[in-house]
């Protein structure tokens, strides 16, 4: 009887511990055509991470490149969720996972994107913006920056993507994640 009571108590404690844990972070994925032909033959997830890595460690090189910055922000958003929820990343450094989520939150705040916006919606709108800018269609880019996950005026958001500020937590997060992904150094700074 005592063993059964202890077993039920232990199970109750375990289940209550699970209830205290919040829901998993929203997770999205980059569309297959997000990077055009520039990443053909690469692991799509690593290509996505590399996009964020380059942009947030070389912010000065991203100035006046809003299409690339839109992809980088989308990539950071995607990887922050994937590192925290994907089975592929179960052994990934816990600190890196937390830092990536903090970086996503900070970058979203800069662009006026709600902390609770679904990651896939953020990614989809930013990829649409990037493709419109690559096609030279600023009107379509501004339309994609209007409403949805964006709360700032479209022109203001486009200006931020054009001259994105240095974000220390994003820089640190991608560097920590890169060290875990490529312990001997490496990563692909494609630009």
Which positions ≥6 away from 29 have C-beta within 8 Å? 78, 82, 120, 123
* Helix count and strand count (H, E) for the chain: 8, 0
DSSP state of 114: -
Classify residue 4: in a domain, yes or no.
Answer: no
Predicted confidence (pLDDT) per residue in 68-114, tens digit: 999 999 999 999 999 999 888 999 999 999 999 999 999 999 999 99
Judge whether residue 155 has pLDDT over 50. Answer: yes
Classify residue 191: in a domain, yes or no.
Answer: no
Terminal alpha carbon distance of the chain: 67
pLDDT for position 163: 98
Tokens for 181, please give them.
């992904």
**Maximum mean pLDDT: which of 26-30, 54-58, 87-91:** 54-58
Domain region containing 113: 48-181
Judge whether residue 3 has pLDDT over 70. Answer: no
187: left (phi over 0), alpha (psi -120 to 50) or beta: left
- Mapped onto helix, strand or coil, the DSSP state of residue 150 is strand
Classify residue 157: in a domain, yes or no.
Answer: yes
Number of structural domains, the chain?
Answer: 1
pLDDT for position 1: 55
Classify residue 156: in a domain, yes or no.
Answer: yes
In whole angstroms, what is the distance from residue 143 CA to residue 129 CA?
8
């Amino acid at each position: 009887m005592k063993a059964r009571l202890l077993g039920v108590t232990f199970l109750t404690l375990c289940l209550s511990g699970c209830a205290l844990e919040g829901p998993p972070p929203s997770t999205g994925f980059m569309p297959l055509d997000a990077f055009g032909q520039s990443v053909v033959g690469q692991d799509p997830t690593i290509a996505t991470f590399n996009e964020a890595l380059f942009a947030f460690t070389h912010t000065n090189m991203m100035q006046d490149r809003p299409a690339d910055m839109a992809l980088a922000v989308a990539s950071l958003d995607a990887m922050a969720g994937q590192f925290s929820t994907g089975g592929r990343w179960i052994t990934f450094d816990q600190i890196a996972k937390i830092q990536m989520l903090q970086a996503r939150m900070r970058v979203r705040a800069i662009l006026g994107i709600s902390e609770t916006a679904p990651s896939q919606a953020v990614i989809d709108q930013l990829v649409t913006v990037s493709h419109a800018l690559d096609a030279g269609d600023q009107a379509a880019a501004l339309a994609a920056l209007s409403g949805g996950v964006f709360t700032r005026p479209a022109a203001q958001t486009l200006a931020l993507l054009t001259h994105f500020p240095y974000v220390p937590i994003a820089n640190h997060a991608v560097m920590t994640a890169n060290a875990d992904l490529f312990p001997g150094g490496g990563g692909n700074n494609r630009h």
